[in-house]
Amino acid sequence: MAVEAIIARARSLKAKFGIGKCERAEDRDDLERFVSSLLEEPEVSVIGAGRGPAGSIIHKLFVNAQRVSVMPPLEEDSGKPNSAEDRKQSAGAASDFPPPAGREILLRTLVPRPAPYSKALPQRLFCVLMREDFRLAGAFSSDTSFF
Average pLDDT along the chain = 82
Helix (H, G, I), strand (E, B) or coil at 127: strand
pLDDT at position 91 is 47
81 phi/psi in degrees, rounded to 5: -70, 140
Does 141 score more than 80 pLDDT?
Answer: yes
pLDDT value, residue 48: 83
> Per-residue pLDDT for 92 more than 70?
no
Q: How far apart are CA 26 and CA 32, in angstroms?
A: 10
Distance separating alpha carbons of residues 95 and 133, to the nearest angstrom: 25
- Neighbour count for residue 23 (Cβ, 10 Å): 6
4-8, 98-102, 122-126, 138-142: lowest mean pLDDT where? 98-102
Instruction: Please state the rounded mean pLDDT for residues 135-144.
Output: 94
Contact criterion met (CB below 8 Å) for 71 and 90: yes
Query: Taking Cα atoms as reference points, which of 118, 108, 116 lies closest to residue 139?
Result: 108
